[in-house]
Amino acid sequence: MTATGPDDIIEEKALPPKVNPFLTSSTECPICKSEVPWHHIKPSIYSERDKDVDLRPRTVKWLKEGYSEHHPRLYYMLHCSHCHFTADSETFEAPSNQCSLSAAKFSKRFTALYTQNRQVKKIVTKLSSGINVLSLDLYQAVKLHLLAIFQFQLFDEIAKKDAMNIGRYCLRLAWLYRDIYELDTKKKEQAGRIIKLIRSLKKDWPLIPANEKTALKMAAQYYQTTLEGSYAVETVYDEINLLMILSRIHMKLGDIPEAHTFLGSGKAKFRNFERETSELMRLSAQADKAAQSRRQDDSPMPKKKVSDEQLSEMSTDSRKLKFLTDEVQMLFEDVRDEWETKQKEKANKIIEAHQDKPVEELRRILLHNKIDKGVVLKLYPEQTKKKGLFNIFD
Ligand SMILES: [Zn+2]
């Protein structure tokens, strides 16, 4: 991709690094062919650390002094000021690469939607007004993320199948919403502007991801669509990776049973993959041994099921996946313990208020008050019926 190549850097002001932490390059818009600037903070001067449950880096560590007022996450999107097409830097040049549409069809349909659909034009115009890609703040970054989500949602081939990008944009939008309260010094002002913007868009875009929670829910929904239908999910590695992201997002949302299901499914797939890898390694070693002994009598070499390169790749993937699933498992245990404590506290308050009720009734009241079934059963285990004299009266 040209926008990331060092040769494309067309402007890097000769100012001391303390004054200019930015790199500005440019790329061609895939829709209208205009030149689009890409302004972003030099990756060599910061690193993002301390990841939240949903992978949002909580802190930016600056490797040189004097940059702390900047926020690298704001510069994630590229935006064409002519046709308003917006996407992240990896996707911008070839937005249809991860879906079944051709580049020409994507471009044609994008232009037609913008020029012929009044509602689309209204939303796109509103979201792209006042954007200065050379100087972004949280408000503008939120607008660009919403714009990218809205534009990609217009394509069924993407939104209903290869939805990885929309999932990622929704997740990053949720991070920005959180950033407003955690990082921004003008949080009240920024939050007020965003609320006003969302209100003005809601009529034409009823399902707009309007806050952190809805953005996270939407991210989970699009990642799940991708998991079920996208051809971009090619390998077991991709699949497990997505399952771990889904588990993390549900943990952040407080949907612990759901997070557990995704984690369990990822771990089961990993165990199969690990078994398959070690079996193939065993067979490969066996074939090597057989080949050695047959070399003397010129008989044909035994064929291997997979090449040594493939096997080495599988073994690397297996190590990475072990790390990945172990990390989410540990995180899950912490989050679940905290969640279970809160659920029990809530349940105990309800129980106190209904002390006179029989156990069956209490179970029903707790479930009705959104106490998880597992927690209710821990508090009031169902009696397993013993076979015996009394059963004949049942
Ligand atoms: Zn354009």
- Rounded to the nearest integer, the mean pLDDT of the chain is 88
Question: What is the per-residue pLDDT for 100?
Answer: 84
Q: Which domain holds residue 17?
A: 2-233
- Mean pLDDT in residue range 288-296: 76
Question: What is the per-residue pLDDT for 288?
Answer: 84
Question: What is the per-residue pLDDT for 38?
Answer: 92
SS (H, E, C) 172-231: HHHHHHHHHHHCCCCHHHHHHHHHHHHHHHHCCCCCCCCCHHHHHHHHHHHHHHHHHHCC
Strands 46-51 and 57-62: antiparallel
CA of residue 133 to ligand 1 center, whole Å: 14
CA of residue 142 to ligand 1 center, whole Å: 20
- Mean pLDDT in residue range 257-284: 95
Quote the CA–CA distance of 289 and 76 in Å, as a whole number.
Answer: 52
CA of residue 124 to ligand 1 center, whole Å: 13
Quote the CA–CA distance of 128 and 111 in Å, as a whole number.
Answer: 15
- From 114, 106, 21, 27, select the one nearest 68 (Cα to Cα): 21
CA of residue 36 to ligand 1 center, whole Å: 8
- Scored b (16 or more CB within 10 A) or e, 218-240 reads bbbbbbbbbbeebebbeebbebb
Positions of E strands within the chain: 9-11, 22-28, 35-41, 46-51, 57-62, 77-79, 86-88
78 band by pLDDT with thresholds 50, 70 and 90: very high
CA of residue 11 to ligand 1 center, whole Å: 21
Give yes or no for a contact between 37 and 24, defined as CB atoms under 8 angstroms apart.
yes
Residue 4 tokens, joined: 């990331």
Question: What is the per-residue pLDDT for 300?
Answer: 62
**What's the pLDDT tens digit per position in 41-64?**
999 889 999 999 999 999 899 988
302 band by pLDDT with thresholds 50, 70 and 90: low
Would you tell me the crossing angle of helices 187-202 and 164-182 to the nearest 10 degrees? 140
The answer as to whether 376 is a domain residue is no
Strands 86-88 and 46-51: unpaired
The answer as to whether 296 is a domain residue is no
Question: What is the per-residue pLDDT for 10?
Answer: 44
**Is pLDDT larger for residue 213 or for residue 15?**
213
Question: What is the per-residue pLDDT for 103?
Answer: 93
CA of residue 107 to ligand 1 center, whole Å: 10
**Is pLDDT larger for residue 182 or for residue 176?**
176
- Mean pLDDT in residue range 161-185: 91
Residue 167 tokens, joined: 């999932």
Question: What is the per-residue pLDDT for 388?
Answer: 47
- Mean pLDDT in residue range 89-95: 94
pLDDT over threshold 70, residue 368: yes
CA of residue 168 to ligand 1 center, whole Å: 22
pLDDT over threshold 70, residue 36: yes
Question: What is the per-residue pLDDT for 293?
Answer: 76
Quote the CA–CA distance of 39 and 70 in Å, as a whole number.
Answer: 13
CA of residue 79 to ligand 1 center, whole Å: 8
The answer as to whether 293 is a domain residue is no
The answer as to whether 310 is a domain residue is no
Residue 62 tokens, joined: 């600056």
* Number of domain units in the chain: 1
Strand partners, 61: 47
The answer as to whether 247 is a domain residue is no
pLDDT over threshold 70, residue 16: no
pLDDT over threshold 70, residue 296: no
The answer as to whether 381 is a domain residue is no
The answer as to whether 8 is a domain residue is yes
Question: What is the per-residue pLDDT for 297?
Answer: 63
pLDDT over threshold 70, residue 1: no
298 band by pLDDT with thresholds 50, 70 and 90: low
**Is pLDDT larger for residue 324 or for residue 292?**
324
- Mean pLDDT in residue range 5-33: 70
CA of residue 59 to ligand 1 center, whole Å: 34
Question: How many CA atoms within 13 Å lie on the side-chain side of 95?
Answer: 29
Quote the CA–CA distance of 201 and 155 in Å, as a whole number.
Answer: 19
CA of residue 1 to ligand 1 center, whole Å: 17
Question: What is the per-residue pLDDT for 15?
Answer: 46
**Is pLDDT larger for residue 100 or for residue 261?**
261
Question: What is the per-residue pLDDT for 69?
Answer: 84
Question: What is the per-residue pLDDT for 389?
Answer: 45
Residue 147, classified by CB atoms within 10 Å of its CB into exposed (0-12), middle (13-18) or buried (19+), is buried
CA of residue 31 to ligand 1 center, whole Å: 5
The answer as to whether 259 is a domain residue is no
CA of residue 51 to ligand 1 center, whole Å: 34
**What's the pLDDT tens digit per position in 147-172?**
999 999 999 999 999 999 999 999 99
pLDDT over threshold 90, residue 140: yes
CA of residue 84 to ligand 1 center, whole Å: 6
Question: What is the per-residue pLDDT for 4?
Answer: 42
